[in-house]
Structure 1
Amino acid sequence: MLVSSVPNSLSALKFVGAFRRISMKACWASCRRSSALRSTARSISVSMSSASPRRCASISSSWRSLDSCASRGVQPRWLPAKSRKGAAFCFIRSRCARGEWLRSHHYWLIRTPGIGKFPAMPAAAGIAGYFQRLARNTGKQIFCTAALNSGRGRAPGRTLFTINRTWSGSAHCHNAPSMPASALATRLSDADIVGSFVARQLRIGREYYAAGGIDAAMAAYRRGLAAAGNEAPGCVSIEAISELHSNLGNACMVRGDLEQAASNYKAALRLKPDLVSCWCNLGNTHLKAGRPRDSITLYLHALTLNPGHWPSRSNLVHALIATQQYPGARALLTELIEERPQDGQLHHQLGKVCVELNELPSALASFQRAVSLNPRDADSIYWIGGVQQGMGDLDAAKAAYAQAARMQPLIRRPAAKSPADFRVLALYAPFAGNTPTEYLFKDAVYDTDTFALVDAGEVDIELLKKDAHVVINLISDADQAEAVLPLAADLAGRLGKPIVNDPLKIQRTTRDTVADLLAGIPGCRIPKVLRQKAGADLSAATLHAAFPSASSILARPVGTHGGDDFEKIDHPAGLAALLAQRPETDRYLIEYIDYRSADGYFRKYRFIFVDGEILPYHLAIGGDWKVHHVSTDMANQPWMQQEEEAFLAEPAAVFDAGHYRSLRAIRQRVGLDYFGIDCGLDGSGNLVVFEVNASMLVHAHNEEFPYKAPFVHRIKLAFDAMLRKFAGASA
């Protein structure tokens, strides 16, 4: 919207004569933009000289560019702060050839409705009319130029286009033959006019993008595309339009709008199919949207156009890792390292790939090489600690963790969009089980600071509290983290921020404590659990007292998950032999409950509880009592996949209202904000609880089971919404 304080009357100016023709030249300032755009002003100077006998006037203004001026956000320092926000300032002065100033007028170009209280001003045609009346009433030839006043003087205007208009004569008009318009000013074609405007918007958008003004850049790109779209084909170059789409796609990526980014990249490629960067960036949208296989195809196409395109090659590494094609990722990283051996990030990535391939010595060497190139690479030092821990060198691992923590107390992970919506402080323990967050934190709209609780040393509370809106405790294994959970609880209390998964509640999720906590829920069978201390004798009488009606007993070391070291014992002799294998380890002895279905298969269901919601994650079907999704034959059995998909789409068709009452009772008694449950149904339809904790894995590596993707994504969305709610509570 355009607002002005131009007076309605021009009575102060003497009427002299009329004009036969008025030629208006529109100019645009071409000068270096001030670093303080918020305080710059647009100035238009109008100079006059005595009129020729033909009464010809040349009016030069930038009225067609006023909206563009407003979009740049130029603002005067002398406006009140309240009115200054969102306003651009236009100062017009008119003078005659002798240098006397005839009149000054101020214009405010308002971008946001309701800012300031200024009288209404006519549209662009009204601005031109004002100069026409000024020329007619003064009888002088008017020269108007536009310049950007940045406090460093003015730069001359640059003519973009000319519009000629015929003005009716009067009694004072001489009857001399009219001059051709070209004698007054050069007329540019409509294509030049539109093309110049589009190019200007492209330049403005680039400047804003480079300065971090993403929204303003997007607005400029869209204005350019709108102008180009209103013209006939050929008026604006294909290169300019494709570049506008490409740049707008980049800005949308920064804002996290993947759909709009992809749409603009595709639009650019329809015009210019040879844009390698667009193919690469389109691949990035698919990778961020959780479609890494599609992104691989796009990266490879970019590389057919330019085999040496570095971003496509380096991003292809991420896509190969996302699809678990680790050998291919390792080969490509090795090739990239040969070209850039001093790039520490490449060595860091290779180390992570080697970890996935379980090549720990190679991983350790890669991380150490990364640190040799950048001794301040705390992230690689943390990984060195993890690898050494996996190799059994606990002393070296502790030293690495401590070194990394001293160097960089917080591991910072920026949001996938700018600016971030909020900031999360995550607490984790290197030597204890933690909630898996690789997928949950992926492409987050919030910044994440992770703090490693290594020991009970001094903690800089103010550093941890700075800018954090919510704290999430990732320390999730109550057995492995028995020593560190009290430290986490104390730290959470001192931070004074909303916290997800209070460490005090995590302490109550050991297998034996959960069995006691959930006892007595109607329709729910909780297996009895006995914790045997390392070295303690276990008599037959003790076993019978703990499991009076159990036909079999399950045994596993304390602090373990999954199927490793997890055995079913049917005879006392077998139990004695098992306990003799690792006498230094505490063990859980668990009552076995037969949950075989009528068709002879075992079915294990997993739900994830997220801030009150109960969301299905998977169904594992197998022929043995020890069922894990990864170890079943479900990838080769369509009927199993169909059953799992049906469960995910409609879990209430399997779990009735009574089961959901049991699940809600479990949620209430456990009291955590985020956790999971593995459960089954026995022959009588009772809910059988296997495991309840916050350590359960949620991941997106479901290429063999693509139907799972929307249900897994739903869990992530609920997780993000939970953090947003907690963050809002601290605002």
Structure 2
Amino acid sequence: MPLIEQTLPTLSDTLVPPIVRGTADLTSFAYQGNDHEALMHRIDTSPAPNPPLARQAARTYDTAIALQLGFRRAEGLDLQDTALDASPIWRIDGAPDGALRLLALVGPGDLMTNTPLDFLTNHLNVRLDLLYLLPDRPLPAVIPDHDVAFFALGEADPATMARLRRLFAAWPRPALNDPQFLPALQRDTLSRSLAGIPTIASPTAVATSRTELQAHLDTGSPIPGFDTSGFATPTGPYPCLIRPIGSHAGAGLSRLTTPAELANYLRFCFDRQFFLTAFHDYQGPDGLYRKSRVGFIDRQPYLCHMAISKNWMVHYLNADMTESAAKRAEEAAAMAAFDQGFARRHQTAFAALHERLGFDVYSIDCAETQDGRLLVFEADTAAIIHLMDPPDLFPYKPPQMQKVFAAFETTLHRHATKPQPAAA
């Protein structure tokens, strides 16, 4: 039987999958400065009540996460395959009896493949189970019963997408984050997804090849599909950003201002496929760049962080927020004023976003243009929304993030009590 026609699993109140520490627990522990040896000790001393075989499987699963946290991605993914051969279902440790039961459909891959739900649920009265949708394999015949399902894959190939859409339509419990919207989030389609919204600036991005880029250098020919209207200077496609396809978190990302810089980039980068993105200068009057992560839960916006940097490539970890009391004070003020400030200024843009990106839970990395538009860099269902920063340095974050966590829990309970429509 083709996987797209597979019968849905039976729901069981008694099935207990292997219990693991999971991504959020181990990432938070590593974020505190603990090394791989300390992570392994934490895994080996897990209090989870696993029987012997499940204990070994859980150790393998958590070790795969620890290896990725230690920048040993290939080893971690190999070990993840071993863990998933042992079980396609896992339970995050720590949920009390009587907790709301959340089942996430996830896919194999690195730490940025799926919505990292345990960064939220570890602060809530929610039991989180992870059900892996594996290529070329049917779902298990029996899975844990649950109150709500969450389709957590952040991207999918066409075959997986067709399978996800059928599962979402037929799922026997209320389900969040309809996967039909995932293609609109891809780096080279987001600007087209948001085209025609006057309150939003979303820089043009295209997938391109080394061959096409070299032809541009050799002949001056345009780069196919790279329409930079409204973003580029009279110098053609420059300035622009380039990164290898499949890279994340700024790996391999560079800003190009001349053909010579593109030639030099290609000389030292051996990838064959790239994303090229128009660069929109969002530097403030004080010379600093500000980039915000706004999370949306049931269409309500929440400021999850704001990074401030003198560098155009802003990530929270490279913005020196821990070293600057002034930056932290500005972030605290932005959080306090967000509902009446940023969110109110961009409420029309947010409403338009929700019409194009119909997820229940997602986030954007964004800034403000000098002419007052919402500058959207990325929209994502797999970005981390967390409370890992030390509270002594960031005392304003716990109350802010507790608002986010509470909103997510409210959404889960609201969906759990919805009447179920007839299956498609």
In structure 2, give the amino acid aligned to 1:326: N
Amino acid at match of 2:289: F
Q: Distance in 2 between matches of 1:397 and 1:651?
A: 39
Partner of 1:382: 61
The offset of 1:689, in angstroms, is 1.3
Residue 410 of structure 1: CA displacement?
A: 1.7
The alignment status of 1:347 with 2:44, answered yes or no, reads yes
Counterparts of 1:710 and 1:375 in 2: how far apart (Å)? Answer: 37
Q: Distance in 2 between matches of 1:512 and 1:323?
A: 31
Any residues of structure 2 matched to 1:94-493 within 5 Å, and which? 321=29, 324-326=32-34, 330=38, 347=44, 374=53, 377-386=56-65, 391=72, 393=74, 397-398=77-78, 400-413=79-92, 416-420=95-99, 422-431=100-109, 433-461=113-141, 463-464=142-143, 466-477=144-155, 484-493=160-169
For 1:327 and 1:536, locate their aligned partners in 2 and report how far apart those are by CA, in whole Å. 43
3-state SS of the aligned residue for 1:636?
coil
**Counterparts in 2 of 1:648 and 1:416: CA distance versus 1, 3 Å:** same
Shift of the 328–553 alpha-carbon distance from structure 1 to 2, 3 Å rule, reads closer
Give 1:498 deviation, angstroms.
2.2
Work out the CA distance in 1 between the residues paired with 2:171 and 2:84: 19
* 3-state SS of paired residue (1:683): coil
Equivalent residues of 1:472, 1:499 under 8 A apart:
yes
Q: 1:659, 1:687 within 8 Å by CA — same for their partners in 2?
A: yes
TM-superposition CA deviations, 1:309-353 (whole Å, max 9, x none): xxxxxxxx99x938715269939x86xxxxxxxxxx862659xxx
Separation in structure 1 between the aligned mates of residue 160 and residue 302 of structure 2, nearest angstrom: 30
Does residue 1:518 correspond to 2:199, yes or no? no
Q: How many residues align?
A: 376
**Is the Cα–Cα contact under 8 Å of residues 123 and 405 in structure 2 kept in the other structure?**
no
Equivalent positions of 1:544-693 (< 5 A) are: 546-547=227-228, 549-550=232-233, 551-652=238-339, 654-655=341-342, 657-693=344-380
Shift of 1:659: 1.8
Unmatched 5+ stretches in structure 1: 1-316, 335-344, 351-370
* CA spacing shift, 1:656–1:328, aligned 2, 3 Å: closer
Report the 3-state secondary structure (helix = DSSP H, G, I; strand = E; otherwise coil) of the residue aligned with 2:364: strand
**Deviation string for 1:349-392 (max 9, x for gaps)?**
59xxxxxxxxxxxxxxxxxxxx9x75752222223445677646
Does the aligned pair in 2 maintain the 1:535–1:584 contact within 8 Å? no
Deviation for aligned residue 1:407: 3.4
Output the CA distance in 2 between the equivalents of 1:713 and 1:702: 13
Letter in 2 for 1:347: D
Query: Measured at CA, do residues 585 and 443 of structure 1 come closer, stay the same or move farther in structure 2, by a change above 3 Å?
Result: same
**2: CA distance between counterparts of 1:721 and 1:681?**
30
**What secondary structure is seen at the aligned counterpart in 2 of 1:519?**
coil
Letter matched to residue 309 of structure 2: G
CA drift of 1:471 comes to 1.1
Say if 1:384 and 1:374 are closer, same or farther in 2 by CA, change over 3 A: same
Q: Per-residue CA shift, 1:415-451, capped at 9, x if unaligned?
A: 633222x321111112251112332120432322211
**Hey, what's the Cα distance between the residues in 2 that align with 1:682 and 1:654?**
15
1:656 Cα offset (Å): 6.7
Deviation at 1:557, TM superposition (A): 1.9
Q: Alpha-carbon deviations, 1:649-686, whole Å to 9, x = none?
A: 11155427452211221122111111111111222222
How far, CA to CA, are the matches of 1:329 and 1:582 in structure 2?
33
Unaligned runs of 5+ in 2: 1-24
1:694 aligns with 2:370: no
Structure 1's 325 and 531: CA in aligned 2 closer, same or farther, altered over 3 A?
Answer: closer
1:161-219 deviation line (CA, Å, top 9, x unaligned): xxxxxxxxxxxxxxxxxxxxxxxxxxxxxxxxxxxxxxxxxxxxxxxxxxxxxxxxxxx
Residue 222 of structure 2 aligns to which amino acid in structure 1?
Answer: T
Instruction: Decide whether aligned partners of structure 1 residues 386 and 691 sit closer, same or farther in structure 2, where only a CA change above 3 A counts.
Output: same
- Given residue 322 of structure 2, which amino acid in structure 1 is its aligned partner? A
Give the distance between the partners of 1:653 and 1:727, measured in 2 at CA.
31
Match of residue 184 from structure 2: 508
Kept in 1: contact 2:89–2:131 (CA 8 A): yes
Provide the rounded CA distance (Å) in 2 between the counterparts of 1:718 and 1:656: 16
Q: State which of 711, 715, 724 in structure 1 corresponds to 2:404.
A: 715
- Structure having the larger proportion of residues in helix: 1
- Inter-CA distance 489–402: structure 2 relative to 1 (3 Å threshold): farther
Contact 1:489-1:502 at 8 Å conserved across structures: yes
Structure having the higher Rg: 1
Secondary structure (helix, strand or coil) at the match of 2:118 reads coil
AA partner of residue 542 (structure 1): P
Q: Kindly report the root-mean-square deviation, in angstroms, between the aligned alpha carbons of the 2 structures.
A: 3.3
| Cα distance change of structure 1 residues 626 and 707 upon mapping to structure 2, 3 Å threshold | same
Decide whether aligned partners of structure 1 residues 392 and 631 sit closer, same or farther in structure 2, where only a CA change above 3 A counts: closer
CA drift at 1:595: 0.8
Distance 1:402 1:441 in 2: 25
Q: In 1, Cα distance between the equivalents of 2:249 and 2:31? A: 23
Residue 527 of structure 1 contacts residue 690 of structure 1 at CA under 8 Å; is this kept in 2?
Answer: yes
Q: Equivalents in 1 of 2:346, 2:311: separation in Å? A: 24
1:495 and 2:176 matched:
no
- After superposition, the Cα gap between the structure-2 partners of 1:346 and 1:691, relative to the gap in structure 1 and judged at 3 Å, is closer
Q: 1:415 to 1:500 in 2, by over 3 A?
A: farther
Give the secondary structure class of the aligned counterpart of 1:554. Answer: strand
CA distance in 1, matches of 2:285, 2:275: 29
CA shift, 1:401, in A, is 4.1
Amino acid at match of 1:330: A
Aligned partners of 2:178 and 2:358 also within 8 Å: no
What is the CA–CA distance in structure 1 between the aligned matches of 2:210 and 2:175, rounded to whole Å? 35
Cα displacement (A) at 1:535:
4.7
> Alpha-carbon deviations, 1:566-605, whole Å to 9, x = none?
1100111211332354454421111111111111111112
Amino acid at match of 1:639: A
| Matched letter for residue 436 of structure 1 | P
Give the Cα–Cα distance (whole angstroms) in 2 for the partners of residues 609 and 680 of structure 1: 16
Q: Percent identity?
A: 26
Sort the Cα spacing of 1:454 and 1:388 in 2 relative to 1 into closer, same or farther, 3 A. Answer: farther
Letter in 2 for 1:541: S
Partner of 1:531: 207
1:497 deviates by: 2.8
Is the contact made by 1:678 and 1:692 (CA closer than 8 Å) also made in structure 2? yes
- What is the alpha-carbon distance in structure 2 between the residues aligned to residue 403 and residue 664 of structure 1? 43
Higher relative contact order (CA 8 A, sep 6+): 2
> Who is 1:55 aligned against?
none
Q: Normalising by the residue count of structure 1, what TM-score does the alignment of the two structures yield?
A: 0.47
Helix, strand or coil at the partner of 1:377: helix
Q: How far 1:397 sits from its partner (Å)?
A: 4.3
Q: Deviations over 1:503-553 (max 9, x none)?
A: 221232102211101111122212111111465455233239623534400
- Aligned counterparts of 1:604 and 1:403: Cα–Cα separation in 2: 38
Please say if residues 498 and 726 of structure 1, whose CA atoms lie closer than 8 Å, have aligned partners that are also in contact: yes
Q: Secondary structure at the match of 1:729?
A: coil
The question of whether the paired residues in 2 share the 8 Å contact of 1:678 and 1:689 is answered with yes
For the 8 Å contact 1:534–1:583, the answer to whether it is kept is no
In the superposition, relative to structure 1, how do residues 381 and 415 fare at CA in structure 2: closer, same or farther (>3 Å)? closer
